[in-house]
Copies of this chain bind each other. A is one copy, B any other.
Amino acid sequence: MNNFADQLEQKIRETGNPSVMGLDPVLSYIPESILSACRKDFADPEAASGAALYEFNRRLIGSVAGLVPAVKPQLAYYEEYGPAGLAALRKTIQYAHQCGLLVIADGKRNDIGSTAQAYADAWLGQTRLVGGTEAPMFGADALTVNAWLGLDGIRPFFDLCRDQGKGVYILAHTSNPSAGDLQDLVLADGRPLYEALAEKIAVWGEELVGSCGYSSVGAVVGATWPQQATRLRELMPRALILVPGYGAQGATADDAACSFGNNGGGAIVNASRSLMLAWKKHQMDHEDFERAARLEAMRMKEDLNRALVKSGKKMI
């Protein structure tokens, strides 16, 4: 099955859960038992930090394997720990794959064509190394990208979607408070800018629609702006939508439901802090973070399915 949308939709059906766990590790989220073990094992603070990030992720992934279809590491939180952080990210991606989870690398990458090709190779493709061997460097299944540079800056990603079954999510309308600074500006023809972009995304994705009816060229649409999300789903009926903003950023499951297709498919809802820090909400010990994340992931699954039934998009 060489189409990302088909792979993702099948995983969502298998788990009955249209959500994705964000892996945005910060040292203060990691319990003391892991931190002190890494301090003991590694004299170098960078190596110890990388090991702690990986161990935290490994246990989070183990706790939700079989329950969520995918994870979404946010690349900034690995770059923050330098080369050791990126090595931890690579191991995290490999472990998620071993556990049967898809991996969406959240990097919002963007550049001119030749450079976008290098990003595409780094995150979704292969690199030719000294000596001539080719190997995947990070090996994610999909990547978030920013379309500010226009089509030639994202075409290299489309090539990997077509040839290697990868996916791409283009930032259409983000979840943050100042999303509208540029995205909501009104064009001469009366449309807001994000609608003009959405129409382009729909066209760009036409050639990559899988047998599930959705395209591997997806979009990021924040749940914090439900009115815009409803309109964007109309304009991009076949786009896979990645929905941030649920939970810690304030959006509800009903808000998130606006981004799903009429068949209840085509979207996944991200939760990062609300899963990584679920032990706080459930008043559990920090060392119980895995059990808390699993409990919260189950609660979120029910919450999303309830909202989808309520919206009329999903049959009971």
How many chain copies? 2
Cβ-based interface call for A62 (8 A): no
CB under 8 Å from chain B, chain A span 157-211: 171, 174-183, 185-188, 190, 193, 196-197, 200
A137 at the interface (CB under 8 A from B): yes
Contact with B along A11-28 (1 / 0, CB 8 A): 000000000000010010
CB distance from A34 to the nearest CB of B (A): 9
CB distance from A177 to the nearest CB of B (A): 6
A176 with B148, Cβ < 8 A, contacts A45-B133, A127-B81, A138-B82 known: no
Most buried by B among A82, A113, A178: A82
Q: Is the CB of A76 within 8 A of B111?
A: yes
**Number of A interface residues in the complex (CB < 8 A):** 74
In the complex, the chain B residue whose C-beta lies closest to that of A181 is B150
Query: Given A108-B111, A130-B38, is A185 in contact with B193 using a C-beta cutoff of 8 Å?
Result: yes
Nearest chain B CB to A123's CB is how many angstroms away? 7
Contacts of A180 in B (CB 8 A): 150
Do A83 and B90 touch (CB < 8 A)? yes
Bound complex: CA A269 to CA B223 (Å): 41
Q: Kindly provide the distance from the CB of A277 to the nearest chain B CB, expressed in whole angstroms.
A: 13
Tell me whether A235 is interfacial, beta carbon within 8 Å.
no
Q: Does A214 contact B (CB under 8 A)?
A: no
Q: Ordered nearest first, which 6 A-B pairs have the shortest CB separation?
A: A150-B181, A150-B178, A76-B118, A82-B137, A45-B129, A112-B176
Chain A residues packing against B (C-beta within 8 Å): 24, 27, 35, 38-39, 45-46, 48-49, 52, 74, 76-77, 79-87, 90, 108-113, 115-116, 118-119, 121-123, 127-131, 133, 135, 137-138, 146-153, 171, 174-183, 185-188, 190, 193, 196-197, 200, 244
